């Protein structure tokens, strides 16, 4: 999460806070940008002391806590922001993301559900909810969410990649290749798209083309591709089996 971009979007609303609170938040922003996350947290503590109803300060403090791995502390801050304003969309988004980090996928789905009620055209919310549903093995629901994200933004690369990945999970390999082809058209440097397209092709028995994709993914920096290359692209490799 980019602290500066959040601050820029919300700066026009800060006039309601005291000048001291504004200055502390700007100081914390600078610390965050310099990767002094603990310093940012300490400064935001002061801002919150001055104005306990400053919902933005809780969001910003949560953002810094995520950076140092204090995920539950971040969730608590996002929850506090929502206590102040139950329709604060960005708080649902960040809390959902944080819940994904601790594998609370049901909690994440709940947050994204609330988010799309408030911001129904926010493509990333549907994409992330689809990821959470995939972890819960609700593949049909996941694909539906990726469909919605792509309807909103037809060039949303990761929604194509994630829909393709999910189609591999349900063994719709041809559909997966179509999605991953489109992801590569939009972003020819997306290593994840080559990785899953290669896997999809290999599972269809298209070893040569699949291995070309896996090697491209490795070239683009996806190091875990080495395992599949060793397993399926060497001479006399065993036939691939369906993933469970």
For the chain, which residues make up each domain, given as ranges?
155-244
Q: What is the mean pLDDT of residues 130-154?
A: 98
Say how many CA atoms lie within 13 Å of 162 toward its Cβ: 27
| Token representation of residue 106 | 């049901």
- What phi, psi does 86 have (nearest 5°)? -70, -5
Determine the pLDDT at residue 244.
Answer: 44
Q: Which of 47, 40, 43 is nearest to 17 (CA)?
A: 47
Q: Give the confidence band of 141 by pLDDT, cuts at 50, 70, 90.
A: very high
pTM here?
0.87
Rounded CA separation 126/109 (Å): 10
Determine the 3-state secondary structure of 227 from DSSP.
Answer: helix
Of residues 2 and 160, the one with the higher pLDDT is 160
Q: What is the mean pLDDT of residues 18-22?
A: 70
Determine the 3-state secondary structure of 175 from DSSP.
Answer: helix
Q: What is the mean pLDDT of residues 25-48?
A: 95
Task: Give me the helices (H) in 85-206, please.
Answer: 89-101, 105-118, 123-135, 139-152, 157-169, 173-186, 191-203
Determine the 3-state secondary structure of 14 from DSSP.
Answer: helix
Say how many CA atoms lie within 13 Å of 41 toward its Cβ: 16
Determine the pLDDT at residue 238.
Answer: 56
> Given this structure, which CATH class describes domain 155-244?
mainly alpha
Asked whether residue 3 carries a pLDDT value surpassing 90, the answer given is no
Q: What is the mean pLDDT of the chain?
A: 91
Asked whether residue 235 carries a pLDDT value surpassing 80, the answer given is no
Q: What is the mean pLDDT of residues 187-192?
A: 98
Q: Give the confidence band of 14 by pLDDT, cuts at 50, 70, 90.
A: very low
With the C-alpha atoms ordered 166, 172, 176, 179, is the resulting torsion angle positive or negative?
negative
Cβ atoms of 45 and 61 within 8 Å: the answer is yes
CA distances from 244 to 162, 168, 218, 231 (A): 18, 10, 24, 17
Q: Give the confidence band of 8 by pLDDT, cuts at 50, 70, 90.
A: very low
Determine the pLDDT at residue 11.
Answer: 47
- Beta-carbon contacts of 57 under 8 Å, excluding residues fewer than 6 positions away, are 21, 25, 44, 47, 48, 51
The string of pLDDT tens digits covering residues 73-122 is 999 999 999 999 999 999 999 999 999 999 999 999 999 999 999 999 99
Determine the pLDDT at residue 21.
Answer: 83
Determine the pLDDT at residue 234.
Answer: 82
Q: Which of 104, 157, 132, 111 is nearest to 144 (CA)?
A: 132
Q: What is the mean pLDDT of residues 58-74?
A: 97
The string of pLDDT tens digits covering residues 206-221 is 999 999 999 999 999 9
The string of pLDDT tens digits covering residues 146-174 is 999 999 999 999 999 999 999 999 999 99
């Amino acid at each position: 999460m980019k602290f500066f971009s959040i601050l820029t979007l919300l700066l026009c609303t800060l006039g309601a806070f005291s000048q001291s609170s504004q200055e502390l938040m700007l100081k914390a922003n600078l610390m965050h940008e310099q990767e002094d996350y603990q310093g940012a947290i300490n400064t935001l503590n002061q801002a919150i002391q001055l104005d306990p109803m400053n919902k933005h300060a809780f969001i910003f403090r949560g953002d810094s806590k995520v950076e140092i791995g204090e995920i539950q502390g971040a969730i608590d801050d996002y929850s506090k922001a929502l206590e102040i304003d139950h329709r604060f969309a960005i708080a649902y988004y960040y809390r959902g993301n944080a819940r994904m980090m601790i594998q609370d996928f049901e909690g994440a789905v709940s947050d994204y559900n609330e988010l799309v009620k408030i911001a129904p055209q926010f493509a990333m919310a549907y994409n992330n909810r689809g990821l959470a549903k995939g972890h819960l093995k609700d593949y049909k629901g996941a694909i539906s969410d990726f469909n919605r994200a792509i309807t909103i933004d037809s060039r949303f690369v990761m929604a194509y990649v994630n829909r393709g990945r999910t189609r591999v999970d349900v063994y719709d390999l041809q559909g997966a290749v179509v999605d991953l082809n489109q992801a590569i058209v939009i972003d020819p440097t997306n290593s994840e798209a080559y990785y899953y397209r290669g896997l999809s092709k290999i599972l269809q028995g298209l070893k040569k083309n699949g291995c070309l994709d896996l090697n491209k993914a490795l070239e683009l920096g996806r190091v875990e591709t080495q395992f599949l290359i060793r397993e399926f692209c060497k001479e006399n490799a065993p036939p691939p089996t369906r993933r469970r």
